[in-house]
């Protein structure tokens, strides 16, 4: 075939042979084999002459994606063909009709879906929320499209090394923001874990390498320890006649890194670097669930269990279908170790997620947690919401949710994300129950509908015909269903609200002694995110906004904060004029860098710039800033990745710390003594609140760099009575 060298042909042949070998378990007939071969030949012809950035022939990418689809996701023949063809319509002159003629409607529909997802991701005009909404819409067509897309993304992440830095950050941001959570929700644990690990590798290369090196250095010792821990288990289970495999699984770099971040501890202080997994072949004598508990009970004969750390996902599977019994046992060295107990079927569901899920579902024909979630997403998508950002936030909330089980008065169990309230529960029962809820009986005690629920609670909702939702309710719900219902209600009653809004507004203005003027509205409308007066009155009347903070709004200084004490160097070959070395705020020429207000980076932080397309100014964020990740996922081309802190010493940077402790006489004096006298740091703002003998405070201060900040945190933490100090 033209366009390929002999060497290309050899590598392509090798990779395709490997794929065919994996297809043995999915191809049932001669026509299956023919179809895969035909898809390969068409893709090879279509992509000929094209190379990836790494220099290899493009066709190796669709082959690799198909390989993931077959061997890591467990999908079938049609999905494999769609994977081979996934970039054909997007990148070459073939059309969806061509695919339909050659491969039938199913494959063509999947390729069409994949093309739309690719186009959405390449679209730099739409807002990110809209892009992700389009991607999620494919969920309601054929969920395999998303699963193949995840395979595509996984291969792109595996080969991200040859991409330029700003592309790496854009792709990594999208992966962390959407694809890893989706993989989790679809039950693709292994893939989700790898996506997170790769994301970390490209976000924080140094930290990644450091943890990886430390893991490698301690590997031998750890493996010996694991062997010692599991050998008595092996003996015990074998003696009980159980057919099983057991392995010690080392945690991923990402999970170690996130624990270090979460607990603010060094690598050396993380002890649970591995978990043990037991996978058993069930016998016919008792249900799988009972066999899980039997194994658990055998383990308690060897090691002391931690009774409050049992995770029973056998009785209550996770919403993504995950089933297993997790127990925690005391290791010989006195540290707790997690042991996961699964049957072979449970293991397949855990590793393969969705695909295994369908396989077993066909046999049982039941609606499970995954179907329920999908139904919720579909329902939400069918609502005329209009606001893509809201929608996405709602879906995202449900993607990564940790779950708890709540019971109805009749003992029926329902699942909720951690943090859900009685009001969420009310809406889950029925929209009308939610809309008229006035209180809840939680474990037979009357509580507010805003009460946060705990796993195992039994809840009964009290209603009154006269009750109705108001805007404040939105602050007290954590589920997509409740949010949607409240917003729908508030929108429905809005038309009658303009008049009410006008009278509320007039009253408040009189209270404040302000005469409404055009100038006043020019300030108010943008502050409350309204396009015109009607919208403003209507929102006011329906309590979507209130004027409680009007004082602040009116006195707000609308000027953007320009970073006063800022210096950066561009690494690499960027134009020299972008190097800002002066801290001269009055010189407009040099106001090119601004500190992002969301994350307030200071020297020592890992940073990435975002070029504001309107002003050209570069807003500097911490690399792991959530706002930046969202921006990057949307408009990656505006990222400026090669900024680093200048060695030129600037004076000081604004940072904020939060503290908490026991209130006592003189604590404030001690605090300012340490900060201003001992450490010679300027305080910009100090806010302290005291209640019930506890004081809480926020201090904004100017520090030279992260080292000084952390030494300050250290010193402040040692003041008598101070219990907790952290950077905001």
Residues lying near Mn ion in the complex (CB under 5 A) are found at 87, 152
Catalytic positions: 90-91
Q: How near is the Cβ of 161 to Mn ion at its closest, in Å? A: 16
Closer CB to Mn ion, 72 or 152, in the complex: 152
Closer CB to Mn ion, 152 or 428, in the complex: 152
Closer CB to Mn ion, 87 or 338, in the complex: 87
Q: How near is the Cβ of 115 to Mn ion at its closest, in Å? A: 10
**In whole angstroms, what is the distance from residue 414 CA to residue 524 CA?**
43
Return the percent helix, strand and coil in the chain, to nearest 5: 55, 15, 30
Closer CB to Mn ion, 65 or 377, in the complex: 65
Q: How near is the Cβ of 152 to Mn ion at its closest, in Å? A: 4
**In whole angstroms, what is the distance from residue 14 CA to residue 81 CA?**
18
Closer CB to Mn ion, 87 or 424, in the complex: 87
Closer CB to Mn ion, 152 or 424, in the complex: 152
Nearest alpha-carbon partner for 160 in 208, 213, 124, 114: 208
Q: How near is the Cβ of 631 to Mn ion at its closest, in Å? A: 24
Strand-pair category, 459-463 with 403-407:
unpaired
Q: How near is the Cβ of 551 to Mn ion at its closest, in Å? A: 53
Output the CA torsion sign for 51, 55, 59, 65: negative
103 and 41 Cβ atoms separated by less than 8 Å:
no
Contacts of 62 (CB under 8 A, 6+ apart): 43, 47, 83, 84, 85, 86, 87, 88
Dihedral over alpha carbons 646, 650, 656, 659 (to 10 degrees): 110
Contacts of 613 (CB under 8 A, 6+ apart): 635, 638
Q: What angle do CA 352, 39, 84 make, to 5 degrees?
A: 45
Output the CA torsion sign for 92, 97, 98, 102: positive
Secondary structure, 3-state, 361-406: HHHHCCCCHHHHHHHHHHHHHHCCCCCHHHHHHHHHHHHCCCEEEE
Q: How near is the Cβ of 114 to Mn ion at its closest, in Å? A: 8
Please report which helix (H) or strand (E) contains residue 727, including its range.
strand 722-727
Q: What SS3 class is residue 94?
A: coil
Q: How near is the Cβ of 149 to Mn ion at its closest, in Å? A: 9
**In whole angstroms, what is the distance from residue 685 CA to residue 698 CA?**
8
Closer CB to Mn ion, 52 or 698, in the complex: 52
**In whole angstroms, what is the distance from residue 66 CA to residue 73 CA?**
10
Exposure string of 217-236, with b = 16+ CB inside 10 Å and e = fewer, is: eeeeeeeebbeebbeebeee
Contacts of 199 (CB under 8 A, 6+ apart): 157, 172, 175, 176, 180, 254
Query: What is the number of residues in the chain?
Result: 728
Closer CB to Mn ion, 52 or 311, in the complex: 52
Q: How near is the Cβ of 630 to Mn ion at its closest, in Å? A: 23
Closer CB to Mn ion, 87 or 194, in the complex: 87
Q: How near is the Cβ of 62 to Mn ion at its closest, in Å? A: 7
Q: Is 529 exposed, middle or buried (0-12, 13-18, 19+ CB in 10 A)?
A: exposed
Contacts of 537 (CB under 8 A, 6+ apart): 497, 498, 499, 501, 502, 505
Closer CB to Mn ion, 87 or 98, in the complex: 87
Q: How near is the Cβ of 125 to Mn ion at its closest, in Å? A: 21
In angstroms, what CA-CA distances link 245 with 230, 235, 342? 11, 12, 10
Closer CB to Mn ion, 87 or 457, in the complex: 87
Six-digit token string for 713: 């945190």
Q: How near is the Cβ of 86 to Mn ion at its closest, in Å? A: 6
Dihedral over alpha carbons 269, 275, 276, 279 (to 10 degrees): 180
146 and 153 Cβ atoms separated by less than 8 Å:
no
Q: Which residue has the tokens 């001669």?
A: 30
Six-digit token string for 181: 């959570």
Closer CB to Mn ion, 114 or 459, in the complex: 114
Q: What angle do CA 158, 163, 167 make, to 5 degrees?
A: 100
Please report which helix (H) or strand (E) contains residue 659, including its range.
strand 653-662
403 and 318 Cβ atoms separated by less than 8 Å:
yes
Six-digit token string for 162: 């040859």
Residue whose CB is nearest to Mn ion in the complex, by number:
152
Q: How near is the Cβ of 546 to Mn ion at its closest, in Å? A: 48
Closer CB to Mn ion, 117 or 377, in the complex: 117
680 dihedral zone (left: phi>0; alpha: psi -120 to 50; beta): left
Q: How near is the Cβ of 159 to Mn ion at its closest, in Å? A: 10
Dihedral over alpha carbons 24, 27, 33, 35 (to 10 degrees): -140
**In whole angstroms, what is the distance from residue 257 CA to residue 635 CA?**
27
């Amino acid at each position: 075939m033209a366009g390929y060298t002999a060497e290309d042909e050899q590598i392509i042949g090798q990779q395709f042979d490997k794929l065919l070998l994996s297809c043995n378990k999915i191809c049932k007939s001669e026509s299956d084999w023919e179809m895969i071969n035909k898809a390969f030949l068409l893709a090879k012809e279509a992509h000929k002459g094209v190379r990836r950035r790494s220099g290899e022939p493009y066709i190796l990418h669709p082959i690799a994606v198909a390989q993931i689809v077959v061997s890591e996701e467990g999908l079938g023949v049609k999905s494999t063909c769609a994977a081979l063809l996934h970039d054909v319509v997007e990148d070459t002159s073939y059309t969806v009709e061509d695919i339909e003629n050659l491969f039938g409607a199913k494959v063509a529909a999947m390729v069409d879906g994949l093309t739309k997802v690719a186009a959405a991701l390449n679209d730099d005009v739409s807002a990110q929320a809209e892009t992700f909404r389009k991607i999620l819409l494919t969920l309601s067509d054929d969920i395999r499209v998303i699963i193949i897309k995840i395979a595509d993304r996984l291969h792109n992440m595996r080969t991200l090394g040859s991409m330029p830095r700003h592309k790496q950050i854009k792709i990594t941001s999208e992966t962390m923001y959407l694809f890893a959570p989706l993989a989790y929700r679809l039950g693709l644990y292994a893939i989700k874990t790898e996506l997170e690990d790769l994301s970390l590798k490209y976000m924080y290369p140094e930290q990644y390498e450091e943890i990886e090196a430390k893991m490698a250095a301690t590997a031998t010792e750890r493996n010996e320890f694991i062997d010692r821990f599991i050998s008595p288990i092996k003996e015990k289970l074998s003696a009980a006649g159980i057919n099983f495999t057991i392995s010690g699984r080392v945690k991923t770099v990402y999970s170690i890194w996130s624990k270090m971040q979460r607990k603010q501890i060094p690598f050396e202080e993380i002890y649970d670097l591995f978990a043990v997994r037991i996978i058993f072949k069930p016998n016919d004598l008792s249900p799988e669930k009972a066999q899980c508990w039997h194994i658990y009970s055998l383990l308690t004969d060897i090691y002391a269990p931690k009774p409050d750390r049992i995770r029973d996902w056998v009785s209550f599977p996770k919403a993504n279908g995950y089933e297993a019994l997790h127990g925690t046992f005391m290791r010989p060295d006195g540290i707790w170790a997690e042991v996961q107990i699964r049957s072979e079927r449970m293991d397949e569901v855990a590793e393969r997620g969705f695909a295994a899920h369908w396989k077993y579902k066909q046999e049982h024909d039941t609606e499970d947690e995954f179907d329920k979630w999908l139904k919720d997403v579909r329902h939400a998508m069918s609502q005329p919401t209009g606001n893509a950002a809201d929608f996405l936030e709602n879906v995202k909330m449900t993607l990564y949710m940790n779950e708890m089980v709540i019971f109805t008065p009749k003992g029926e169990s329902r699942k909720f994300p951690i943090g859900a309230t009685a009001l969420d529960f009310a809406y889950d029962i029925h929209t009308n129950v939610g809309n008229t809820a006035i209180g809840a009986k939680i474990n037979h005690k009357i509580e507010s509908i805003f009460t946060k629920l705990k796993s195992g609670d039994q809840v009964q909702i009290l209603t009154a015909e006269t009750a109705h939702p108001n805007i404040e309710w939105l602050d007290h719900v954590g589920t997509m269903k409740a949010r949607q219902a409240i917003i729908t209600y508030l929108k429905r009653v809005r038309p009658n609200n303009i008049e009410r809004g006008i009278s509320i507004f007039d009253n408040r203005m009189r209270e404040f002694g302000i005469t409404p003027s055009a100038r006043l509205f020019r300030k108010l409308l943008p502050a409350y995110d309204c396009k015109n007066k009607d919208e403003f009155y209507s929102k006011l009347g329906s309590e979507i906004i209130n004027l409680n903070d009007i004082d602040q709004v009116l006195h707000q200084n609308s000027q953007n904060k320009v970073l006063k004490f800022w210096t950066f160097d561009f690494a690499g070959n960027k134009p020299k004029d972008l190097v800002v070395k002066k801290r001269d705020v009055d010189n407009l020429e040099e106001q090119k860098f601004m500190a992002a207000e969301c994350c307030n980076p200071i020297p020592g932080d890992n940073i990435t710039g975002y070029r504001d397309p309107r002003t050209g100014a570069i807003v500097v964020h911490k690399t792991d800033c959530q706002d930046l990740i969202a921006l990057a996922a949307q408009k990656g081309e505006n990222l400026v990745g090669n900024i680093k802190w200048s060695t030129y010493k600037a004076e000081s940077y604004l940072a904020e710390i939060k503290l908490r402790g026991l209130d006592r006489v003189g604590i404030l004096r001690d605090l300012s003594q340490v900060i201003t006298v001992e450490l010679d740091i300027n305080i910009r703002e100090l806010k302290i609140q005291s209640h019930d003998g506890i004081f809480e405070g926020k201090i904004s201060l100017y520090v030279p760099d992260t080292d000084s900040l952390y030494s300050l945190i250290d010193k402040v933490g040692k003041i008598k009575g101070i219990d907790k100090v952290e950077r905001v």
